């Protein structure tokens, strides 16, 4: 009886490490990509009208939530046997919907919403969230392979 319980416990702990590690890394990558996009390439972060510490705190929280959703999708929905392919594809779709919500609600750094700027931001959000999903799926597979090496 105790061997069955211990084996089940080990499997749960391996899954948790894979999942939490993938979630954290994917969230950080998306946050950093957002910072690079808005802080370096577009340099529109200075248009934020409230303190930057508050913006970064809220952005980190939002990306942590997005990372959670992307990681769940990458690891639980199976279009492909490769988790990174699932994550990249589903992350891109998720980015599409997140941008639509932000656009409809008027959440933007820019004034006037020029069509070219909207299109570029739209594509970037799809790419950014797609990369987050790809990273989540890839890291999940890496942790899974590491667990096989260490445990087996």
Task: For 58-88, write each residue's pLDDT tens digit.
Answer: 999 999 999 999 999 998 888 888 889 999 9
Closest to 91 in 3D by CA, of 124, 125, 138, 133: 133
Whole-angstrom distance, CA of residue 37 vs CA of residue 127: 11
Whole-angstrom distance, CA of residue 61 vs CA of residue 55: 10
Question: pTM of the full predicted structure?
Answer: 0.82
pLDDT at 114: 77
Whole-angstrom distance, CA of residue 67 vs CA of residue 140: 13
Residues 27-62: tens digit of each pLDDT: 999 999 999 988 888 877 888 888 989 989 999 999
3-state class percentages of the chain: helix first, strand second, coil last, to nearest 5: 85, 0, 15
Spatial neighbors of 4 by CB under 8 A, at least 6 apart, are none
pLDDT at 152: 43
* Three-state DSSP class for residue 79: coil
pLDDT at 144: 76
Mean pLDDT score of the chain, rounded to an integer?
85
Spatial neighbors of 48 by CB under 8 A, at least 6 apart, are 55, 109
Q: Reply yes or no on whether the pLDDT at 151 is more than 60.
A: no
CB 132 within 8 A of CB 74: no
CB 41 within 8 A of CB 117: no
Residue 6 tokens, joined: 């211990």
- 135 HSE (CA, 13 A, CB side): 24
pLDDT at 70: 95
Closest to 72 in 3D by CA, of 121, 115, 136: 136
């Amino acid at each position: 009886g105790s061997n069955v319980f211990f084996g089940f416990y080990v499997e749960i702990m391996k899954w948790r490490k894979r999942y939490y590690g993938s979630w954290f890394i994917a969230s950080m990558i998306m946050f950093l990509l957002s910072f690079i996009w808005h802080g370096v390439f577009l340099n529109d972060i200075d248009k934020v009208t409230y303190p930057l510490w508050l913006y970064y705190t809220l952005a980190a929280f939002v990306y942590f939530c997005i990372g959670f959703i992307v990681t769940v999708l990458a690891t639980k929905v199976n279009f492909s046997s490769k988790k990174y392919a699932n994550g990249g594809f589903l992350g891109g779709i998720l980015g599409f919907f997140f941008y639509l919500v932000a656009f409809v609600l008027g959440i933007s750094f820019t004034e006037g919403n020029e069509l070219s700027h909207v299109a570029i931001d739209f594509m970037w959000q799809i790419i950014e969230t797609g990369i987050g999903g790809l990273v989540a799926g890839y890291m999940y597979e890496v942790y899974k392979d590491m667990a096989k090496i260490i445990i087996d």
